Amino acid sequence: MIRRSFIKVGDDLAVDFANTVPRRPGTRDELDSWRALIDFLELRGGLGRDEAAALRAMAADDARGCAAALERAHVLRATARDVLGTLAARRPVPAARVEQVNEALGWGLGAPRLVRRGPGWGLAHTPSVAGPLRALAPVARALAALIAAGRTSGIRQCANPACILYFRDRSRAGRRRWCSMAVCGNRMKVAAHHRRHGRRRLAGARGLA
Ligand SMILES: [Zn+2]
């Protein structure tokens, strides 16, 4: 069984990947094991089923390599968060970050390949790198595409100051403000309402913070 509990508000593989960090100090890291990392990548479409199964199986033969790749995943995630913060602030992405992404792109050198997908065909990437690091190449490609898109990438951070989630605004009007209307959108609206209606309601608002 693969885990299905990962947050998916980013609307992009690299953004969802960046959003897997613990949301508050002391809370759990969603990518706390090799298996969790591969589950996440498969669930978000970064890895096909067969490739994900092959990578999961690697943990038995190459536990060290997988642990090292998981560490690199956490470093790549920090890079991704940094890049997203820069894009959201509409600042240029520093060359050192681009260099890190370029290095990660190299982990997935290989060739595109048509694979069966349902009744039709889908385009998959067949890596030439044999080791576990290749699992991270799809994230590197997604992140590279965002950097290449620059200002048109539509990257924003949730407008709730207490929320650490990023998303890619693909709405036509480009006015998406929240990671999720159901969570932060409503919470912020309720808080604004309480601010407008004075202190007597603060007790209620506190429960929502
Ligand atoms: Zn939020």
In the prediction, which pLDDT does 207 show?
47
- How many structural domains comprise the chain? 1
φ, ψ at 93 (rounded to 5°): -75, 125
CA of 182 to the centre of ligand 1 (A): 9
DSSP secondary structure string for all residues of 14-79: HHHHHTTS-SSTTSPPTT-SHHHHHHHHHHTTSS-HHHHHHHHHHHHH-HHHHHHHHHHHHHHHHH
CA of 166 to the centre of ligand 1 (A): 8
In the prediction, which pLDDT does 4 show?
67
- Output the six-digit token pair for 180: 């999720």
State pTM to two decimals.
0.82
| Over residues 110-130, mean pLDDT | 82
Cβ-in-10-Å burial (0-12, 13-18, 19+) of 161 comes to: exposed
Q: Which residues surround ligand 1, an ion (CB under 5 A)?
A: 158, 160, 163, 165, 179, 184
- Output the six-digit token pair for 157: 């951070």
Domain that holds residue 81: 13-177
Residue 202 falls within a domain, yes or no? no
Q: State pLDDT tens for residues 40-75.
A: 999 999 999 999 999 999 999 999 999 999 999 999
Cβ-in-10-Å burial (0-12, 13-18, 19+) of 131 comes to: middle
- Output the six-digit token pair for 16: 């969802």
pLDDT at 23 over 50: yes
Residue 1 falls within a domain, yes or no? no
CA of 178 to the centre of ligand 1 (A): 5
CATH number of the domain within which 39 lies: 1.10.3300.10
Residue 184 falls within a domain, yes or no? no
CA of 123 to the centre of ligand 1 (A): 33
CA of 34 to the centre of ligand 1 (A): 27
CA of 167 to the centre of ligand 1 (A): 9
CA of 138 to the centre of ligand 1 (A): 25
As a whole-number percent, the residues of the chain with pLDDT over 90 amount to 62
Q: State pLDDT tens for residues 166-178.
A: 999 988 888 999 9
